[in-house]
């Protein structure tokens, strides 16, 4: 029996594929490679370049690989972009998942682990955020992920498709062994942007807003190591296999860091004095997002191994630094 990982060439997807293989699972990847990277997927993992909208291809994969469960990452996932281009988020995220669920149902695949997000909460009334707190998204990205969670709920009621939705807070870091890491083009996330500046790949860091109601005026986020997220997917899969119960879980470390604090940790790790400038707030950014992950710890038996921000930034830094060094070696040898 095999697990289909959609979006398995993306940042969190590729780390999860690596982790599942280490756990001895059989895996196949579907990715359209619009944002993912083929080289992030191990060579011995069957790989299909294609779209979630292609029901024929999805059916082929389910039947030919004896698919038992799906881990579903494939989606557009940028808050700012979703505000500017909401319709593509509805099309790719909601219509794409609808197509996937229809094919799963037809082919009797009854387990799915879904990449959801802290963006479903919008501006929280209190922190740390609990799963039963109100979900009122402030951007189309969060709206589409919340709509999919609801679709999964009804697909379970009607068709017995069991699901675990994982609401990630801020994914960061890289494989501690340095095999793969975070590589978005263009990059919009705070930690890789700061580290790229430390490597001289960009000039300044722009802090989006310093007038938020937080201790230093900048946004506070809960950063979670990408390998701990990978582990959570494995735990979620085991939960559906063993209990046949659906559920929704937050994934974070329960500790918030402001944008300025993150930049300070990056300065310390990279040993470089990164220059910052302040600009206006970015549309759709809530002031504070910090998770209570007690439910994931209790029910999924998820125990993050890398909760310390300095460790997360160090793993990200090693990945970025080595990539920059191997690139300059390639350039040099031409």
Q: Is 79 in the site for ligand UFG (CB under 6 A)?
A: yes
Number of residues that bind ligand UFG (CB under 6 A): 20
String of b and e for 2-17 (b: at least 16 CB within 10 Å)? bbbbbbbbbbbbbbbb
User: In the annotation, is 121 catalytic?
Assistant: no
Q: Which stretch binds ligand UFG (CB under 6 A): 2-10, 33-41, 187-195, 234-242?
A: 187-195
CA 196 to chain centre: 20
Q: Which stretch binds ligand UFG (CB under 6 A): 52-60, 126-134, 230-238, 281-289?
A: 281-289
Q: Which stretch binds ligand UFG (CB under 6 A): 7-15, 85-93, 112-120, 146-154?
A: 112-120
| φ, ψ dihedrals at 72, nearest 5° | -110, 100
3 state DSSP class of 71: strand
Name the catalytic one among 11, 19, 89, 141.
141
Encoded one letter per residue, x for contact with ligand UFG by CB under 6 A and - for no contact, window 156-175 reads -------------xx-----
- Cβ partners under 8 Å of residue 178, min gap 6: 318, 319, 322
Q: Is 113 in the site for ligand UFG (CB under 6 A)?
A: no
CB of 285 to ligand UFG, least distance (A): 5
- Cβ partners under 8 Å of residue 103, min gap 6: 55, 58, 59, 62, 109
Q: Which stretch binds ligand UFG (CB under 6 A): 16-24, 30-38, 182-190, 292-300?
A: 182-190
Q: Is 259 in the site for ligand UFG (CB under 6 A)?
A: yes
Q: Is 193 in the site for ligand UFG (CB under 6 A)?
A: yes
Note whether 320 and 181 are within 8 A (CB): yes
- Give first-to-last CA distance, the chain, whole Å: 46
Q: Determine which residue in the list 119, 180, 237, 290 makes contact with ligand UFG, applying CB under 6 A.
A: 119
3 state DSSP class of 100: helix
If the CB atoms of residues 240 and 289 are measured against ligand UFG, the closer one turns out to be 289
DSSP letters for 39-53: GGS-TTS-EEE--TT
DSSP letters for 261-291: HHHHHHHHHHT----EEEEPPPTT--SEE-B
Q: Is 196 in the site for ligand UFG (CB under 6 A)?
A: no
Q: Which residues here bind ligand UFG, judged by CB under 6 A?
A: 77, 79, 117-119, 169-170, 188-190, 193, 206-208, 219, 221, 259, 282, 285, 289
């Amino acid at each position: 029996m095999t697990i289909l990982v959609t979006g398995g060439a993306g940042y969190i997807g590729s780390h999860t594929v690596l982790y599942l293989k280490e756990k001895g699972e059989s895996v196949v990847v579907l990715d359209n490679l619009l944002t993912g990277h083929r080289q992030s997927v191990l060579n011995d993992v069957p790989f299909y370049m294609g779209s979630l909208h292609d029901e024929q291809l999805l059916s082929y994969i389910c039947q030919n690989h004896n698919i038992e469960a799906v881990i579903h990452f494939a989606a557009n996932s940028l808050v700012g972009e979703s505000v500017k281009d909401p319709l593509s988020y509805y099309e790719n995220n909601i219509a794409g998942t609808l197509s996937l669920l229809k094919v799963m149902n037809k082919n009797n695949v009854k387990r799915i682990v879904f990449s959801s997000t802290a963006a479903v909460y919008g501006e929280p009334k209190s922190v740390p955020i609990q799963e039963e707190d109100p979900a009122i998204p402030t951007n189309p990205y969060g709206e589409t992920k919340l709509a999919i969670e609801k679709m999964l709920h009804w697909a379970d009621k009607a068709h017995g498709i069991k699901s675990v939705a994982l609401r990630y807070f801020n994914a960061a870091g890289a494989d501690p062994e340095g095999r793969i890491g975070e590589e978005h083009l263009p990059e919009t996330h705070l930690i890789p942007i700061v580290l790229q500046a430390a490597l001289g790949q960009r000039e300044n860091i722009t802090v989006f807003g310093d007038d938020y109601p937080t201790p230093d005026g900048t946004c506070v986020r809960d950063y979670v190591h990408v390998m701990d997220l990978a582990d959570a997917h494995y735990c979620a899969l085991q939960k559906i296999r063993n209990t046949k119960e659906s559920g929704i879980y937050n994934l974070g470390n329960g500790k918030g860091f402001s944008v300025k604090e993150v930049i300070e940790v990056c300065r310390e790790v990279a040993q470089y004095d990164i220059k910052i400038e302040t600009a206006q707030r970015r549309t759709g950014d809530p002031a504070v997002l910090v998770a209570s992950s007690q439910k994931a710890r209790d029910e999924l038996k998820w125990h993050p191994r890398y909760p310390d921000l300095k460790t997360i930034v160090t793993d990200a830094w090693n990945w970025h630094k080595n990539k920059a060094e191997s690139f300059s070696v390639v350039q040099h040898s031409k």
